[in-house]
Structure formats: structure tokens, C-alpha cells
Structure 1
Amino acid sequence: MFRVDLNQNRLSRLSQKRFSELNLRERDHLQEWLANQPDALGEELLIIQKEFDGFDETRERLDLLALDKDGNLVVIENKLDDSGRDVTWQALKYTAYVSGLTNTQIVDIYQRYRQVDGCSLRI
């Protein structure tokens, strides 16, 4: 990655740093950035819940749950650095968990999310 200096018409290489070196945290930083600017992921998304834990028989929770412009559920599992965990398996597992949600449940999930953010919503 490079910094562009338009005044001098030069590029300068930026040093590579891990998020942990910058004291950035997954939940406090990356998750909030994406929740507030989901199109940073490259498509139009509506975040409907953070830290979604509405799964039966498990205490696991996914980072962000969203809807794409076609109404499909999108599971977003954030990793700041290489955690050594099998992220693909984790995302597939969460996808299986949410695949059974009904439209009514999805609306309820989004309403709860909006209420926590201090916004009332009627659908």
C-alpha cells in the first residue's frame, strides 16, 4: 500500500502493520466500521443484527447478519488477523444456522437491532 503525495507527485510505501499492532479490535473497530458502512464489502447490504446469537443449542454468535439487495441473508464473520481458526468452516456453520430463519423471524431480528440503535421501525 502506498501514500499518494499530490503536492510532490510521489508515492511512498507504507509499512505493513497488523491490526493488533495498532490496538484495533475486531468487535470494537472492524465490526462497527462494517455495520456503519457495509458497502465497504463491495455490495449493497442492510445490516440486520450484530453479534447474532439466535441459534438453538449453541452459545455461538456470528459477527454481522445482513440482507443483500435480493433479500438473501448474508453472514459476515470478521477476522482482523490470521486467527488460526478454520474461518470457512465457521462461516458455513453459521450459514446453516440461519438458513432456517423465517421471514417473520428476520423482521423481528431487524426490529430488535433498530431498537437497540435507538431507532424505532415499523414494518
Structure 2
Amino acid sequence: MRRRAVLLGSCVLLVVAVLASLAIGSNPLGPAEMWRGLVAPDGGEAATIVWDLRMPRTLLGLVVGAALATAGVLLQALTRNPLAEPRVLGLSAGAALGVVTAIAVFDVGTLAG
């Protein structure tokens, strides 16, 4: 019973976070304006903001969050350690070595490099 309550609470928090992500930005939209732009896009400013700017950001955040959660679960299952983290297998040190090597050897100085 407790597990269901936690799962339901987590789902409610996820929905609230998604709606907040669609409403909050440099041009804040009110709840009614955001909802109207979301469910009945009429080509107006609110619909353009919600669908063209904020929806891709929100979906990308959901996908990245799911990928990080999956990576964490796989790492914990692989090591059979519920407290496992990337430093356990040296992943953080390996990533740092790759960045330093790219900067020092290949003269990479930008993010695109």
C-alpha cells in the first residue's frame, strides 16, 4: 500500500513539474493561458511559446532524466550495490582523463570541438 502511495505521489509531482515547465519561462504564462495554448493551439503567442519553445525543452528534460535513472539502476545492478555511484567503477576519473587528453593533445577548446 505504501509503495502505491509513493508511486502515485511521484506521478502527481511529475505532472506538476511538467506543467510548471510549460508555464514558467522568460515570458511567463498564466495557468489558463498555458492550458489553452496546450490543448487548443490556435497559432497565437501562447500556443507558439508552449509548443515550439517549451514543449521540446520539457520532453528533452524527461528523456534525459529517464536515461540518467536507467544508467543509475544499471550501475547499481551491475555492482550489486544499492549505494553505487559512477566513482565506484572509475567512470568519473575516466571521463576527466578524456577531457584533459582532448584539451592537451588535440587542442580542443570549445564545446563543439
**Shared fold by TM > 0.5?**
no
What is the TM-score when the length of structure 1 is the normalising length? 0.26
Instruction: Kindly indicate which of the two structures has a greater share of residues assigned to strand.
Output: 1
What is the TM-score when the length of structure 2 is the normalising length? 0.28
Q: Which of the two has higher C-alpha Rg?
A: 2
Structure with higher RCO (Cα < 8 A, 6+ apart): 1
